[in-house]
Structure 1
Amino acid sequence: MNENYLIGLDIGTGGAKGLLVASNGKVIATATASYPLLTPQPGWAEQNPEDWWEATVKVLKELMQKGKGHPVGLGLTGQMHGAVFLDRDGQVLRPAILWNDARTGAECREIEERVGSERLREITGNPALAGFQAPKILWLRNHEPENYSQVRHVLLPKDYVRFKLTGKFATDASDAAGTLLLDLEERNWSEEILSALNIPYTWL
């Protein structure tokens, strides 16, 4: 007898992890697939988004082979704060810069100068820290202008996988709160911060 299932998928720093859950909450199957962490320079941490996608496909295939039924929903989570840069065709421009990357100290200072450190905390609830997404966007503009000129979308890691699964660009408030670009009170992108940093609203 076939049963309806739910799938949970986590795009972690060390690999993709998935589980297949029955309607009564019983875990039917689990699967994992790893991918490498790239450190091209000291203090840098990157991954290829294509590796996340290949691991996701592998995990989903393994789960579906273990369960006899139909998936009716998928819950998606993953590592926060990273930056995935896509061009107008949805193609990856460079390896993703991860949450544990420490290259953006100068960009953090630039953000606090442009927005104001107190005002930044009022809007986002956070100071400018290297792990967040906004300083990574400024770093790309400051250090890789050719790549920056081609950017049309900036996604969080799990949202790249969501895009590959659905063809749609979307995120959730909890992950967006880790970008330094979300107005927590309004639960929407902060036009004030985007304007101060000259980041297009349409990229998010």
Structure 2
Amino acid sequence: MPRYFIGIDVSTTASKALVIDENGTVVASHGEPHELSTPRPLWSEQDPRQWWAATCASLRAVLQDVSADDVAAVGLTGQMHGLTMLDANNEIVRPAILWNDQRTGAQCAAITERVGAQWLYDQIGSVMLPGFTAPKIVWVREHEPEAFARTAHILLPMDYVRFLLTGAYVTDVSDGSGIALMDVRRRTWSDELLAALDIPRALLPDLCEGPEVCAHVSAAGAAATG
């Protein structure tokens, strides 16, 4: 019996699904577009629910060509850094702030001044940039405190799709590093940086390695995607 593998790409412009066989031959592919919102200069946002709708439509399309029973594994990739905030009921708190949003220059400067440029570089492996997730979290706390107070979970775009597919709050260390709250040498969240920025560790997803099996498709995820 053939075995197939599905890749899901939650990109900025579309969510796409690709099916390959054990030889790497493409068997089926499909994508559904996303809409981008730019409500103010420098802002770039999306409604996370459209990522899931586009993913479900794409998966249902490619599974017309193969049986879901023959799918051995599903992998996810996608746009990095996007701040996706869920409340305690897993409802969207506010539109996701994307990787190309540039509103957080002041927050980047304040973070760097608070912890020191060299110490920050040693922790996250980079200077703090507006595209990263950490300054977006600080921005929401400063400008939308009610939204921040409601937030129970912070995920990246692909991790939001993974959550709806599996029920797990997980990101891999590569994408997690772009949240800019990791100690990249230890490949874990930086307790020191979280404390310095007063960001609760409980808001962040668990970390896994890229090749690791980090979750399994739930009954609800299977029903939604075919």
Q: Which TM-score band applies after superposition, normalised by the shorter structure?
A: over 0.9
With normalisation by structure 2, the TM-score equals 0.88
Alpha-carbon shift at residue 67 of structure 1 (Å): 2.0
Instruction: Report the AA paired with residue 162 of structure 1.
Output: R
CA distance in 2, matches of 1:158, 1:52: 8
Structure 2 SS opposite 1:186: coil
Distance in 2 (CA, whole Å) between partners of 1:66 and 1:93 is: 36
How many Å separate the matches in 1 of 2:88 and 2:116?
32
> What's the C-alpha RMSD, in Å, of the aligned pairs?
0.9
Structure 2 counterparts to residues 159-170 of structure 1, below 5 A:
159-170=159-170
Paired residue secondary structure (1:74): strand
Could you tell me how far 1:17 is from its partner in structure 2?
1.3
| Residue 40 (structure 1) aligns with | 39
Amino acid at match of 2:60: K
* Pair 1:150-2:150 in alignment: yes
Shift, 1:71, TM fit: 1.2
Matches within 5 A, 1:1-204: 3-68=2-67, 70-204=70-204
Alpha-carbon distance between aligned partners in 1 of 2:127 and 2:180, rounded to the nearest angstrom: 8
TM-score (norm 1): 0.97
SS of 1:193's equivalent in the other structure is helix
How far 1:18 sits from its partner (Å)? 1.3
- 1:171 is paired with a residue whose SS is strand
Q: Which amino acid in structure 1 is aligned with residue 88 of structure 2?
A: R
Aligned residues with identical type, % of pairs? 48
How far 1:3 sits from its partner (Å)? 2.6
Q: Runs ≥4 in structure 1, deviation > 3 angstroms? A: none
Aligned pairs, number? 203
Per the TM alignment, residue 4 of structure 1 is displaced from its structure 2 partner at its CA by 2.0
**What is the CA-CA distance between 1:39 and the residue it aligns to?**
0.4
How far apart, CA to CA, are the structure 2 residues paired with 1:114 and 1:88? 30
Which amino acid in the other structure matches residue 85 of structure 2? F
C-alpha distance in 1 between matches for 2:9 and 2:115: 33
Return 5+ residue gaps in structure 2 as ranges.
Answer: 205-226
- Structure 1, gaps ≥5 residues long: none
Aligned to 2:207: none
State the alpha-carbon separation in 2 of the partners of residues 201 and 51 from structure 1. 27
